[in-house]
Amino acid sequence: MRGGEGALNSPVETSDRIASLDVLRGFAVLGILVMNIQAFAMPMAAYFNPTAYGDLSGINFFTWLVGYLFVDQKFLSMFSLLFGAGICLFADRAEARSGRSASLHYRRMFYLLLFGLVHAYFLWSGDILVTYALCGLVLFFLRNRSPRTLVVIGLAVFSVASVLYIAIGLTTEFIPDKDAAEIAAVWAPDAAKIDAELLAYRSEWFAQQAQRITDTLEMHTTVLPIQILWKSAGIMLLGMACYRWHILSAVRSDVFYRYLALIGFGVGVPVVVAGAWWNFAAGWSWDRSMFLGSQFNYWGSLAMAFGYVGLAMLAVRRGWFSALQMRFAAVGRMAFTNYIAQTLICTAIFYGHGFGLFGSVDRWQQAIVVIAVWGIQLWWSPLLLRRFRYGPLEWSWRALTYWRLPRG
């Protein structure tokens, strides 16, 4: 064994973790379920366009509105910030042990990509792991840039999808009729397409595969390159800057985090509220809501993600809800396992290989499912970690990354 290789091929121990990052990660992965539950429980179009399927009145409207204003995209943005920070943290620790980190990082991202492809094509088309792995493969070389440079590049990358969507939104009248009809059919599918999706996901697992592969390919060949990759990569670069500035480790002052929360929510909430008003005023039509109307939440969610970071870091510093924080931290230490577990639980509830409730559960009832899953994960995560160092998927990912079995 070459000098330093033993140290290089050593997994990060539990004692080396930054507690505030685990709390944030747990907070984020639980919040992500609020946005994902719609895509688990209903045809995918209902997530992007709430008028495409299901009742949107009374308590269902209230449930959707709360999720849209305060959760949708906000917690995924926070998760992306943390993933970017994690790239720097992983590299710094590997380099401190052996002076090199690239081979481990790329191996780590390669296996994350494999996990993501299996998740997307065999379990659920709404996977985010493929996106994160692809971004991680590309962004690694920027990790040592100055925080200011990372912010500038991050905002520029984040803006690419926004500029594209705004450009399309301002020129929809020039889109050929045939193409416009195809876009409209994606945004608000007709009854036949909805029925086909309902039938597929209410069927047994193997019978779902044709629909799932079609949905995933559409996601990977359209939405991913046009929007999601740019958005995620941009936020990850901002997360790298936050890591370099020690924002995510709760070591900045209370005043700093208070202002971060106030500015994040003060900017983000009005922008997202304006977006909701815009889209309802436009009747959620594809030509006004799909492109221009989506930009309010696109930018407002980023601001609100920083607001949540400020609030969470203030809670960590002040010791607010310390018992709950410990549970959030446990969920965060098992974020990979808990993310996939959410898919397994929700597809078992909604898809045909389980209870087959796809398309028949109202939004307020979906909220009950979310709360139940939260309860399960807040309970089982600390329980598992009392006995084991890692969650099962974290353990597997580390074993593949380091080519050795982690302790515990």
pLDDT in tens, 338-396: 999 999 999 999 999 999 999 999 999 999 999 999 999 999 999 999 999 999 999 99
d(CA 385, CA 103): 29
> Taking a C-beta distance cutoff of 8 angstroms, is the pair 269, 69 a contact?
yes
Q: Is 12's pLDDT higher than 80?
A: no
pLDDT in tens, 308-329: 999 999 999 999 999 999 999 9
pLDDT in tens, 169-185: 999 999 999 999 999 99
**pLDDT of res. 3:** 38
**pLDDT of res. 1:** 35
96-105, 109-118, 299-308: range with lowest mean pLDDT: 96-105
For the entire predicted model, the pTM comes to 0.94
Extract the tokens encoding 318.
Answer: 């002040």
pLDDT in tens, 145-163: 999 999 999 999 999 999 9
Q: Looking at residues 17-41, what average pLDDT do you find?
A: 96
- Short-list 240, 230, 233, 241, CA closest to 87: 240
* Residue-averaged pLDDT of the chain: 95
**pLDDT of res. 7:** 36
- How many Cβ atoms from other residues are within 10 Å of residue 407's Cβ? 12
Task: Give the DSSP per-residue string, 18-42.
Answer: -HHHHHHHHHHHHHHHHHHHHHHHS
pLDDT in tens, 231-282: 999 999 999 999 999 999 999 999 999 999 999 999 999 999 999 999 999 9
Which residues lie closer than 8 Å to 238 by C-beta, 6 or more apart? 81, 84, 150, 151, 154, 155, 158, 302
- Short-list 139, 149, 127, CA closest to 228: 127
pLDDT in tens, 192-230: 999 999 999 999 999 999 999 999 999 999 999 999 999
- How many Cβ atoms from other residues are within 10 Å of residue 199's Cβ? 15
**pLDDT of res. 17:** 67
